[in-house]
Amino acid sequence: MSYVATVERVAQLHALAARLAAHGTAGAGDFGAKLTSALARSDLASEATRAGSDADVPYADLIDRAAARYGIDRNVLRGLIRAESGFNARATSAAGAAGLTQLMPATARSLGVTNPYDPAQAIEGGAKYLRQQLDAFGGDYRLALAAYNAGPAAVRRYGGVPPYPETQAYVQRVLAYASEFARGGSAR
């Protein structure tokens, strides 16, 4: 299987897992959650990205320290930063989110982040916010990531990952990146 075909297949499987997990019935939701978990561990995902090391991950030390401090998976935090900013500390969205972890100004302030363009502050704030979402949603990374992207109110309103294409794709993308990092993939 070619690299592109493998990446496309992994993305399709992540999309299926998200749809099943959000389906609403216990059987489909449980299967979707199990499929998501299996994909995170799968050899299929690792086939897409075998090379790389921590040397290929910008801010690896800052990310790993923040992940340890807040008890979150370092690879998910790495995946979140890759999805949010592509590891560009100067990134700014049209909506006003800023820095590596793309915190909105009010959220940044509430987390004690005074300069979202400072990598240490952005990573610390993003890790703290992700921890808050994990605590709010029972440790479920899919729901926590959806809340990070669309807001916790949207996740509560829909009782799961909201049916917003952007949010569904975001959750899949972060988890796919996390899987790449777990297999030694790079930030590229």
CATH of the domain at 76: 1.10.530.10
What 3-state DSSP class applies to 94? coil
- Whether residue 59 lies inside any domain: the answer is yes
- Whether residue 157 lies inside any domain: the answer is yes
pLDDT of residue 33: 60
Which one of the listed residues 8, 47, 84, 180 is annotated catalytic? 84
- Whether residue 31 lies inside any domain: the answer is yes
pLDDT in tens, 96-109: 999 999 999 999 99
Query: CA 98, CA 115: separation in Å to the nearest integer?
Result: 9
Give catalytic status of residue 166 as yes or no. Answer: no
Domain tally for the chain?
A: 1
- Whether residue 187 lies inside any domain: the answer is no
Q: Which domain holds residue 134?
A: 3-182
Alpha helices per DSSP H over 22-73: 26-41, 43-48, 60-70
pTM over cut 0.85: no
Query: CA 93, CA 115: separation in Å to the nearest integer?
Result: 15
Are 66 and 172 a contacting pair, CB within 8 Å? no
